[in-house]
Amino acid sequence: MPLNHIPGGAGSEKLLKLLTHHMEEQRKRKALMSCLEGKAMSEFEEAMSQIVGLQELKMQLRRWARGMFFDEKRRAMGLGIAKRRAPHMAFLGNPGTGKTMVARILGKLLHMVGILPTDKVTEVQRTDLVGEFVGHTGPKTRRKIHDAEGGILFVDEAYRLIPMQKSDDKDYGLEALEEIMSVMDSGKIVVVFAGYCEPMKRVIASNDGFCRRVTKFFYFDDFSTTELAEILHMKMKSPSDCSLLYGFKLHPSCSIEAIGELIAREITEEQRKQMNGGLVDTLLINARENLDSRLDFSCNDADTMITITLE
């Protein structure tokens, strides 16, 4: 039963206090064991290994993660230290550079060490927050904030909340941003704003309290052709059941070097910049279709039927 569903009354108040104390002790024990076994950091490193490139970002996240782990260990040992809240962040970079994936890893990390009650990441965009009429935006945004409590609120394309040009009609994006800002000091959620570097400057400038509340800025660089090839290999090595390439494999000729050269030759720099990691899924979908078009219906060789070649 959720604690906030326990009925009122003197006896229930005592029970609630006892359960809350028990949960806090459990949280401390979990944090201490996690640190002693090195389990939390190893799980974090395992998750980080799934991210290709972004070396500078990984260094910052590791430094920050170690600090959180040690703070939890100090607290679990009974040391009276100032509580460190998980900082609100801005992820700046082009689409497909891994911003959402990193946010999900952060959610797991913060939950792992007991800083957040859940590992959920609630992803929202302008349409999820902004209403069309007066009085719609506030309640709409508050519902999403409520949904995200205990986890991360990931505001994708956050710059869309602040239009580039002011129109005659009132825009409610700023109202949604102010609603989010109003709960950022509560400690109930961690907010991550994501978007292109340049347009995000509008968001930063639109609210005086933005830089006071958002203390971590992470820059996601575009992927190189070799990094895109590494992502493709990673997706093919351990595809999920829902992957369109589940059950297929790469021919030995499809090395990282060969695929990197293929991407450099066939895809323009502008296309790579616009899509980044999203390009890999398109490549693989096309590869499967190309395989089907090359196969003959008389083919009975199982290996040939599932092997993606460089061609």
pLDDT (tens digit, 0 to 9) for every residue of the chain, 311 residues total? Answer: 566 666 766 677 788 888 888 877 776 666 666 555 566 677 777 777 777 877 777 787 777 777 877 877 787 777 888 766 778 999 999 988 889 988 998 888 778 766 788 999 999 999 999 988 888 899 999 999 999 999 999 999 999 998 876 655 567 888 999 999 999 988 889 999 999 988 998 888 887 888 889 988 888 989 999 999 999 998 898 777 777 888 899 999 999 999 999 999 999 999 998 899 989 999 999 999 999 999 999 988 999 999 999 98
* pLDDT value of residue 37: 52
In a domain, 243, yes or no: yes
Q: Which of 220, 249, 267 is the C-terminal boundary of a domain? A: 220
Give the pLDDT score at 152.
95
The overall longest dimension of the chain from CA atoms, in Å, is: 79
pTM here is 0.76
For residue 207, the enclosing domain spans 14-220
CB atoms within 10 A of CB 310: 14
Beta bridge partners of 152: 121, 190
Distance, CA of 292 to CA of 2 (rounded, Å) = 52
Instruction: Assess contact for 169 and 198: CB atoms under 8 A.
Output: no
Q: How far is CA 245 from CA 35, 170, 280, in A?
A: 38, 46, 12
Let me know if residue 9 belongs to a domain: no
Q: Are residues 172 and 131 in the same domain?
A: yes
pLDDT, position 169? 57
Q: Residue 4's CB: how many other CB atoms inside 10 A?
A: 6
> Beta partners for 227?
none
Query: Is 257 in the same domain as 121?
Result: no
Q: In terms of DSSP bridges, do strands 152-155 and 249-250 run parallel, antiparallel, or are they unpaired?
A: unpaired
Is the domain of 130 the same as that of 262? no
Q: Are residues 38 and 152 in the same domain?
A: yes
Angle at 300 between CA 299 and CA 302, to 5 degrees: 115
Q: φ and ψ at 229, to 5 degrees?
A: -65, -35
Cα distance between residue 98 and residue 249, in whole Å:
24
**Helices and strands, counts by H and E, the chain:** 14, 7
Look at residues 192, 220, 248 and tell me which one is the last residue of a structural domain: 220
272 in the same domain as 151: no
293 with 167, same domain: the answer is no
The reply to whether 7 falls in a domain is: no
Q: What pLDDT does residue 290 have?
A: 93
Which of 198, 220, 242 is a domain's end point?
220
Phi, psi angles (nearest 5°) of residue 205: -80, -20
pLDDT of residue 305: 93
- Phi, psi for 156 (deg, rounded to 5): -80, 145
Reduced to 3 states, what is the DSSP secondary structure of residue 185?
coil
Q: Is residue 41 part of a domain?
A: yes
Residue 6 within any structural domain of the chain:
no
Burial (Cβ within 10 Å: 0-12, 13-18, ≥19) of residue 62: middle
| Domain total of the chain | 2
Nearest to 85 by CA among 179, 186, 155: 186
Based on the fold, state whether residues 161 and 229 are members of the same structural domain: no
Residue 208 and residue 112 share a domain: yes
What local confidence, expressed as pLDDT, does residue 243 receive?
79
Are 26 and 150 within one domain? yes
Q: Specify whether 211 is located in the same domain as 236.
A: no
Compute, in degrees rounded to 10, the torsion defined by CA atoms 234, 235, 237, 239: 150
Domain CATH number, residue 113: 3.40.50.300
